[in-house]
Structure 1
Amino acid sequence: MEISSGKPLELSDKPIFDKYLNKFPPNISELTFSNLFIWKNYYDFLFLEWENHIIIYAINFFKNWGKSIAGNNDSIFFLPPIGLTPEKIILKLFKELENLEIHRVPEMVMKKLHTEKEFERLNLRVYEDRDNWDYVYEIKNMVNLPGNRYRQKRRWLNKFLELYNYDFHVISGDLIKKTLELQLEWCDVTECQGNEDLMEEQKAIETAIEHYDEL
């Protein structure tokens, strides 16, 4: 695989991602086109199609933002390949490239990796990344907020219902503009201008709102 052949994500690439993601739905929140697109400038994501999979990576990720598990900031950051056999593509990447780390790998892909003979031959190491685990809640618990575990959340909800009248609306038209205004107001209230991470999040949210209909 030629690393230099990767290209930055553009809105025009959405059909390519949709083709793969509709057929192979992601198990992690990062692997959606919307998320990748709104954060593309922050992480400098590149992608290419290789061996009937989408490969997403960032060459300078560890130099600028993230922490290399191996302690090598020259390593290339990869997200899990999107396609039929990501475990086989992961092994091919490690055979063809040097200094790479693949992050956010779902558990089911890891289980398949462990069954591959090449996994042991390549002497690959696996680490849990609890800081980046997705939150998973049962729908019934979010609807009913049962028991002592959700007592505080029930209080917050009841307080909201007492204090405010509310309506639910699908975001469209003028509401998109109002959503952006609310986000800018939130940024001022939280003084996000003084926090680099919050400012990058602000930029990502603005990108999402600006391209709401396309995404």
Structure 2
Amino acid sequence: MAQKPLFESYISKSHQNGSECAFSNLFIWRDCYHIYWCVAHDFLLLKVKRNNVDFYIQPFGGRDEDLPRLMQELKEEHQGKPFEMHGIYDFTKERFERVMPGLTYEEDRDNWDYVYLQEKLATLSGRKLHGQKNHYNAFVKAHPDFVYEPITMDNMMECLNFGERWCDEHMAEDPSLLCEKYAIQEA
């Protein structure tokens, strides 16, 4: 947490809104994804391990003219192992193409963030959110006495216990829920 101002100083200039561009997400997932960081050549670098694959998140900050040297040093660090960089958005791709044309990019649709406009999510209006509206309607029908309440200090433990139970019950289907459980507790 002490490094939050440093992270924010780099991330706030990134023109990115992905989940990996938010300090809170990086913080709560740091142990599960073995997130390490450093500042090199005035770039904030984040190294991640997910599913036994090491990769970097797009570099934050720095000067365009220093990107080729940074990339070369990162490749050398990998000593012949595959070198991957994830979370590259259009802004960063354009930046890379300006100073390092010819790089290869591969879309990983399974790991894209899903972003909804607040007003659309609040009303579940439109064809795009039809499935979510069906789930909501089924929930209301099955639980007509449900209540909504903000999370406060009075009910926080109840929420944490529920999240832990839910993850434990579904972990056989999805072992990654162990990380989810830790991230919920950390948050």
Scaled by the length of structure 1, what TM-score is found? 0.69
Structure 1 residue aligned with 2:186: 207
Alpha carbon RMSD of aligned pairs, Å?
Answer: 2.8
SS in 2 for 1:55: strand
Aligned residue among 148, 153, 170 for 1:167: 148
Aligned residue among 16, 33, 52 for 2:6: 16
SS in 1 for 2:69: helix
The residue type equivalent to 1:28 in the other structure is G
Scaled by the length of structure 2, what TM-score is found? 0.77
The aligned runs of 1:36-185 (5 Å cut-off) are: 36-58=26-48, 61=49, 65-66=52-53, 76-83=54-61, 85=63, 88-97=65-74, 98=76, 99=78, 100-116=83-99, 119-120=100-101, 123-162=102-141, 163-169=144-150, 171-185=151-165
Aligned residue among 15, 18, 22 for 1:32: 22
The residue type equivalent to 2:57 in the other structure is L
Paired residues, number: 179
SS in 2 for 1:48: strand
SS in 1 for 2:10: helix
Give the Cα–Cα distance (whole angstroms) in 2 for the partners of residues 194 and 45 of structure 1: 25
SS in 1 for 2:177: helix
Structure 2 CA distance for partners of 1:138 and 1:52, relative to 1, 3 Å: same
CA contact (8 A) 2:37 2:44 kept: yes
The residue type equivalent to 2:96 in the other structure is L
SS in 1 for 2:21: coil
Give the Cα–Cα distance (whole angstroms) in 2 for the partners of residues 167 and 126 of structure 1: 43
The residue type equivalent to 1:196 in the other structure is P
**Structure 1 vs Structure 2: percent identity of aligned residues?**
29
Structure 2 CA distance for partners of 1:168 and 1:125, relative to 1, 3 Å: same
Structure 2 CA distance for partners of 1:47 and 1:155, relative to 1, 3 Å: closer
Structure 2 stretches lacking a partner, 5+ long? none
The residue type equivalent to 1:207 in the other structure is E
1:64-102, Cα deviation, whole Å (9 max, x unpaired): 523xxxxxxxxx5111112265x5554332222324321
SS in 1 for 2:39: strand
Structure 1 stretches lacking a partner, 5+ long? 1-10, 67-75, 209-215
Give the Cα–Cα distance (whole angstroms) in 1 for the partners of residues 67 and 85 of structure 2: 8
Give the Cα–Cα distance (whole angstroms) in 1 for the partners of residues 173 and 124 of structure 2: 36
TM-fit CA distance, 1:181: 0.9
Give the Cα–Cα distance (whole angstroms) in 2 for the partners of residues 159 and 102 of structure 1: 41
SS in 2 for 1:131: helix
Runs of 4+ in structure 1 displaced over 6 angstroms? none
TM-fit CA distance, 1:180: 0.9
